[in-house]
Amino acid sequence: MTKDEPTSSGMEKLRNRMGAIRSRVRASIPFLSGVAAMLLALILYNLIFPENQLTQTEVNDAIANAMASATPRPAYSTEVYQIIQPSLVMIQTDLMNGEKSLGTGVIVDGAGDILTSLHVVNNASKIAITFADGTKSEGIVVSTQPEMDIAVLQAPTMPQLFVPATLGNPGAMQVGDEAYAVGHPFGLYGSMSAGVISGFDRTFKPENTDVEIDGLIQFDAAVNPGNSGGPLLNRYGHVIGIVTGIVNPSNQNFFIGIAFAVPINTAAGGVDMPPY
């Protein structure tokens, strides 16, 4: 590769940017067409009925009404939530010490494998999974990556219809890109928060462990207890990470603006699949 030749990561970012521009242009076409049609109708009306020509005020009012009635493009967050919601699961565990734990997971393949954080299900005597359609099942841990706080679960009872999430490419992201977290903070099912990517290649040590996790994505979308194991998403609804923890200097268990996710190309290794 020559010095001036773009890298594959750079090309991926360029394609994502061009795709976003094309989407916005396509989204604006119906609106612009509607305004143009209204103007054309006004011109034809004045030519056909010159004795009943519209005043400037009437023309302005007609244009304002046409613009007000145009349906704006949905926010990225709306589309992201609709895309990921069928792939989301709630994980409730009974721990060996008698305590209970709550977390989130995401279905990542056609076999029904569920990615989540290991600390959500570690030392569990019972794991209960609730799918998006209300189907309930016990959960079984089939593999773990302790060094990355990742676990893979399977459910003997699956919904008749389930939708695996689409996995994205964290390498195509950059600081400042939109980031969305969906999970069940404090048991509030299917909650969504929005923010941006704050940094890459961060290191985080989960509470009550001796493990330091490297290579993490830092983001500022709000996450709290119950979000652990849930997906971090880009603007297209693709999973780019699995939420693993938050930082709070006061040692309190609530969000202050710094959270971390394991990149999906690392987490997906637990189910032997590529990131996208």
Q: Do 67 and 96 have their domain in common?
A: no
Place of tokens 């494998």: 113
Two tokens at 121? 């299900």
Place of tokens 């209300």: 134
pLDDT tens-place string over residues 144-164: 999 999 999 999 999 999 999
Identified catalytic residue from 113, 119, 198, 220: 119
Q: 3: pLDDT confidence band, cut at 50, 70 and 90?
A: very low
CB count in 10 Å sphere of residue 80: 24
pLDDT tens-place string over residues 84-98: 999 999 999 999 999
Q: Do 227 and 253 have their domain in common?
A: yes
Q: Do 123 and 176 have their domain in common?
A: no
Q: 126: pLDDT confidence band, cut at 50, 70 and 90?
A: very high
Identified catalytic residue from 193, 198, 228, 238: 228
Inform me whether the pLDDT recorded for 135 exceeds 80.
Answer: yes
* Residues 152, 141 contacting (CB under 8 angstroms): yes
State which residues form the domain around 148.
88-154
Of 128, 154, 180, which residue is a domain's last? 154
* Assigned domain for 34 exists: yes
| Distance between CA atoms of residues 85 and 67, nearest Å | 32
Q: Find the DSSP H helices in 138-216.
A: none
| Distance between CA atoms of residues 91 and 104, nearest Å | 5
Q: Do 181 and 247 have their domain in common?
A: yes
| Known catalytic membership, residue 94 | no
* Assigned domain for 209 exists: yes
| Known catalytic membership, residue 119 | yes
Q: Do 205 and 258 have their domain in common?
A: yes
Identified catalytic residue from 87, 149, 193, 220: 149
Of 154, 180, 199, which residue is a domain's last? 154
CATH of the domain at 97: 2.40.10.10
Distances (CA, A) of 42 to 31, 33, 49, 134: 17, 14, 10, 53
pLDDT tens-place string over residues 10-55: 566 556 665 555 655 555 556 566 666 666 665 665 665 555 555 6
Give me the pLDDT at residue 247, please. Answer: 86
Residues 264-267: contacts with CB under 8 Å, at least 24 apart:
264/167, 264/168, 264/170, 264/239, 264/240, 265/169, 265/170, 265/171, 266/145, 266/148, 266/150, 266/215, 267/115, 267/145, 267/148, 267/150, 267/241, 267/242
Q: 252: pLDDT confidence band, cut at 50, 70 and 90?
A: confident
Q: Strands, E, within 16-123: which ranges?
A: 88-95, 100-107, 114-117
> How is 220-248 classified by DSSP, letter by letter?
-S---TT-TTPEEE-TTS-EEEEEEEE--
* Assigned domain for 2 exists: no
Place of tokens 């989407």: 23
Give me the pLDDT at residue 256, please. Answer: 87
